[in-house]
Amino acid sequence: MADAQAGGAANPDPNHDPALPTGSWTSSEATRRSMQGNRSRDTRPEVALRSAVHALGLRYRVAARPLRDVRRTADLVFRPRRIAVFVDGCFWHGCPDHFVTPRTNADYWAAKILRNQTRDAETDAVLATEGWTVVRVWEHEDPRRGAERVREAIVRSRSGASRG
């Protein structure tokens, strides 16, 4: 597939930014293999948070779209309470405490992380407009603390307190 893309064929990915090259942009084949091995769901931080939330007696949907017509998937969704939980990786979402721009392809990565952060903010805004509460938990955060923040959001939604 990379050969076809490198040959100038259209990129089938609907989220592909046409300003970016279509071939493999990684600095080496080892980096490419490593990147392909990254999970999009069921990561250790996500599973740890789910376990902690479940231990509090809370039930949720996993890897679901809060809004069916919006192409965004939350890690945990409490549909009746309109609460969407996202577990953000420190690298991919630009954690202010842990993110360090890689030295190789630094411009690419800085732009990529900025696009991810912009998409996260857009997602938060769209969900808030539709009456949803968004809880974002960093991968480095203690899962029990993250679970407590989720529980607090649920308690607020039950009491009719303002969302956000």
Q: What is the DSSP string of 78-135?
A: EGGGTEEEEEE-TTTTT-TTT----STTHHHHHHHHHHHHHHHHHHHHHHHHTT-EEE
Domain region containing 82: 40-159
For residue 114, being part of any structural domain is answered with: yes
Local confidence band at 21 (pLDDT 50, 70, 90 cut-offs): low
- Please answer whether residues 83 and 66 qualify as being in contact, where contact means their C-beta atoms are separated by less than 8 angstroms: no
Beta-bridge partner residues of 136: 86
pTM of the model: 0.76
Most confident of 11-20, 79-88, 98-107: 79-88
- 111 has a pLDDT exceeding 60: yes
**Number of domains composing the chain:** 1
What CATH number does residue 53 fall under? 3.40.960.10
Distance CA 87, CA 89 (A): 7
The DSSP letter of residue 18 is T
